[in-house]
């Protein structure tokens, strides 16, 4: 009796994508929609599944957001990995502490008597306050935020007012001036508290011969009636600047370190799945670019720059001493702009090729830094938006060799559990490759249980399913593509066993032409893939 059924997507999404999709994320050009295909049960049914075309981008960087393939005008390919080493704000290393000042006014007996006789008394004073800022020598600053807190504590039996002026502080061209009432003491000391927002005030802290100095003018007036007063009475002034953040800062900021992390690590995702084999790259290059909008001289060193492969393999990219050129800084006329400094490691000044050929999965680096290495030689300046940024770019021209370069990955998989195996005697997969790349590629997929015990493998016996294209040995260029058709048969016994599959181990092994003995150049030439399956 002939059975009529509709073959579900299970088989399509499982076995074919299992073989081709895990490592070779191809661009499907033509597929057969199995959900719409209803056909009779015949002794054999052949169905076209996939016709695809892949480029080198699909093989090397299908899901890598940092890695990218750049294609030159001659179609030659360069693998580029870009990332950020660190990014530092000016406020991360330059900060202004809270400022606290205290002063008091006392009067003699004669001055107290004069208030009673005249009805008023005024005393003016000018005081230069030291703007404490650690190693910073501040000539001027523009407040982004900040509070000026004024507290008056009065034990005189007179009321009055304090007029406070800071000639060097201006907002929109208007000098800072504030009048604060003085409350008469009638028992316990009387307090007046005021908080003033200093946002957008520009303050000059340059006295002409010294930095960090702010001039403050006081005018205190006490008015009768009141009393009696004694000479121990006083008016105490507490002046505090708090929560200071700058929008602009000028002066000399000293010899600071800490412009870069002492030691840090970045993932080098290109080799994250590598488990074996060797490769060589003829002309790799690492370029580090420093973008600096801090207006001060900076020297940096690179004492450590290593490739690391777990659990314990470390290979230095550096060869002997390596001196980084002085870091460029913007001039005062370039306030807010970035100055760019780039330096490179290549085969002429480093061990770059050897380090990359060790398949590092991480880059461990350490920078040293020092601002104003020659001392105060000019005006330093920063904005609140100023940054110190280091970016890295690793360029690997795809010119070299590979031998048994093996990558492996695992994935959960249980899609075969519902396959109606009792109606299927065997499954034959036929793959067709037209390969324009000079790479022999073998792929194996292991079906495992939940503990990764192997139940079966897809390709028995193992073989290179995608042979290398033909290569001109002298130039390393491909002369012609190669074609190969591979049949993969899975009988009923094996198919039933695969329904127990919970995980897959996918392994791909690549070698360049002549088992890695010939240096080759990779160009952007597509690989064509055709796949069908047949049920028996």
Confidence of residue 20 (pLDDT cuts 50, 70, 90): very low
478, 431 in Cβ contact below 8 A?
no
Asked if pLDDT for residue 249 goes beyond 90, the answer is: yes
Q: Is the predicted pLDDT of residue 75 greater than 70, yes or no?
A: yes
User: Does 340 or 432 have the greater pLDDT score?
Assistant: 340
For residue 9, is pLDDT > 60? no
With 50 as the cut, is the pLDDT of residue 434 above it? yes
The pLDDT assigned to 226 comes to: 78
> Residue 241 pLDDT more than 90?
yes
pLDDT of 270 reads 57
Higher pLDDT: 533 or 503? It is 503
**How far is CA 60 from its chain centroid?**
22
**CB count in 10 Å sphere of residue 492:** 14
289 or 116: whose pLDDT is higher?
289
The answer to whether 528 and 40 have CB atoms below 8 angstroms apart is no
What is the average pLDDT score of the chain? Answer: 79
pLDDT band at 514 (very low <50, low <70, confident <90, very high): confident
228 cis-preceded (ω within 30 degrees of 0): yes
At residue 524 the predicted structure's pLDDT band, cuts being 50, 70 and 90, is: confident
Cα of 503 vs its chain's centroid, Å: 33
What pLDDT digit, counting tens, does each position of 384-415 carry? 999 999 998 888 888 888 777 776 778 787 65
Highest mean pLDDT among 224-238, 334-348, 457-471: 334-348
Determine the pLDDT at residue 71: 80
Q: Is the pLDDT of residue 30 over 60?
A: no
Q: Is 172 exposed, middle or buried (0-12, 13-18, 19+ CB in 10 A)?
A: exposed
Average pLDDT over every residue of 126-147 = 91
Is residue 167 over pLDDT 90?
yes
Q: 136: which residues sit within 8 A by CB, 6+ positions away?
A: 94, 96, 212, 251, 252, 253, 254
**466: CB partners within 8 A, 6+ apart:** 433, 435, 439, 440, 441, 442, 443, 484, 527
pLDDT at 384: 94
Q: Residue 376: which of 30, 44, 136 has the closest Cα?
A: 136
Where is average pLDDT lowest: 35-44, 299-308, 516-525?
35-44
Residue 414 is predicted with a pLDDT of 64
| Dihedrals phi, psi of 522, to nearest 5 degrees | -100, 125
> What integer pLDDT is reported at residue 64 of this predicted model?
52
Task: Kindly indicate the confidence band of residue 37, based on its pLDDT and cuts at 50, 70 and 90.
Answer: very low
Question: The whole model's pTM is what?
Answer: 0.70
The total of other beta-carbon atoms located within 10 Å of residue 443's CB is 22
Q: What percentage of the chain exceeds 70 in pLDDT?
A: 81
Q: Which CATH number fits domain 99-252: 2.70.98, 3.40.50, 2.30.30, 2.60.120?
A: 2.60.120
pLDDT at site 526: 57
Q: What confidence score (pLDDT) does residue 153 get?
A: 95
pLDDT at 527: 55
Q: Residue 141's closest CA among 247, 225, 22, 14? A: 247
Distance of CA 112 to the CA centre of its chain: 68
Stretch 206-210: mean pLDDT: 85
pLDDT value of position 465: 76
Average pLDDT of 155-159?
90
- Looking at residue 533, its pLDDT comes to 47
Q: How far apart, in Å, do the first and last CA atoms of the chain sit? A: 16
Q: Is 90 exceeded by the pLDDT of residue 166?
A: yes
As a whole number, mean pLDDT of residues 300-312 equals 87
In the block, residue with structure tokens 């890295």: 392
Residue from 301, 266, 262 nearest 394 by CA: 266
């Amino acid at each position: 009796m002939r059975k009529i059924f509709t073959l579900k997507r299970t088989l399509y999404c499982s076995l074919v994508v299992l073989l081709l999709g895990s490592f070779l994320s191809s661009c499907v050009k033509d597929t057969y929609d199995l959900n719409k295909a209803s056909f009779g049960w015949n002794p054999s049914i052949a169905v076209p599944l996939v016709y695809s075309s892949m480029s080198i981008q699909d093989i090397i960087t299908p899901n890598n957001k940092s890695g990218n393939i750049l294609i030159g005008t001659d179609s030659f390919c360069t693998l580029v990995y870009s990332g950020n080493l660190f990014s530092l704000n000016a406020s991360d290393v330059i900060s202004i502490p809270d400022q606290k000042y205290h002063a008091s006014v006392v009067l003699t007996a004669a001055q107290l008597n004069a208030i009673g006789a005249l009805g008023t008394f005024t005393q003016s004073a000018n005081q230069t306050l030291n703007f404490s800022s650690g190693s910073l020598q501040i000539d001027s600053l523009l407040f982004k935020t900040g509070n000026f807190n004024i507290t008056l504590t009065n034990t005189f039996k007179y009321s009055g007012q304090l007029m406070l002026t800071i000639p060097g502080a201006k907002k929109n061209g208007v000098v800072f001036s504030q009048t604060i009432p003085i409350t008469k003491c009638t028992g316990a000391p009387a307090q007046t508290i005021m908080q003033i927002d200093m946002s957008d005030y520009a303050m000059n802290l340059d006295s002409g011969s010294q930095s960090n100095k702010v001039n403050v003018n006081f005018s205190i007036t006490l008015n009768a009636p009141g009393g009696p007063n004694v000479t121990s009475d006083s008016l105490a002034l507490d002046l505090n600047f708090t929560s200071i953040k700058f929008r602009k800062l000028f002066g000399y900021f000293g010899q600071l370190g800490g412009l870069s992390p002492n030691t840090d690590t970045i993932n080098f995702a290109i080799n994250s799945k590598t488990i074996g084999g060797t490769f060589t790259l003829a002309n790799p290059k690492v370029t580090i670019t420093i973008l600096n909008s801090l207006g001060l001289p900076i020297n940096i060193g690179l004492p450590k720059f290593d490739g690391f492969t777990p659990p314990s393999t470390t290979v230095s990219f550096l060869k002997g001493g390596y001196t980084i050129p002085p870091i460029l800084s913007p001039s005062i006329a370039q306030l807010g702009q970035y100055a760019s400094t780039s330096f490179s490691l290549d085969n002429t000044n480093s061990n770059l090729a050897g380090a990359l050929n060790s398949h590092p999965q991480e880059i461990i680096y350490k920078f040293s830094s020092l601002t104003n290495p020659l001392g105060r030689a000019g005006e330093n300046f920063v904005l609140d938006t100023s940054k110190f940024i280091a970016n890295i770019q690793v360029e690997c021209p795809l010119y070299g060799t590979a031998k048994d370069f093996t990558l492996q990955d695992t994935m959960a998989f249980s899609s075969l559990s519902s396959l109606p195996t009792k109606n299927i005697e065997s499954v034959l997969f036929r793959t067709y490759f037209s390969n324009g790349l000079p790479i022999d590629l073998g792929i194996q997929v292991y079906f495992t249980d939940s503990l990764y015990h192997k139940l079966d493998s897809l390709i028995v016996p193992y073989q290179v399913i995608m042979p290398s294209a033909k290569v001109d040995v002298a130039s390393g260029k491909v002369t012609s593509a190669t074609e190969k058709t591979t049949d993969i048969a899975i009988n009923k016994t094996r198919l039933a066993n695969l329904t127990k599959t919970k995980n897959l181990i996918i392994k791909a092994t690549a070698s360049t032409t002549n088992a890695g003995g010939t240096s080759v150049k990779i160009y952007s030439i597509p690989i064509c893939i055709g796949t069908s399956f047949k049920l028996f």
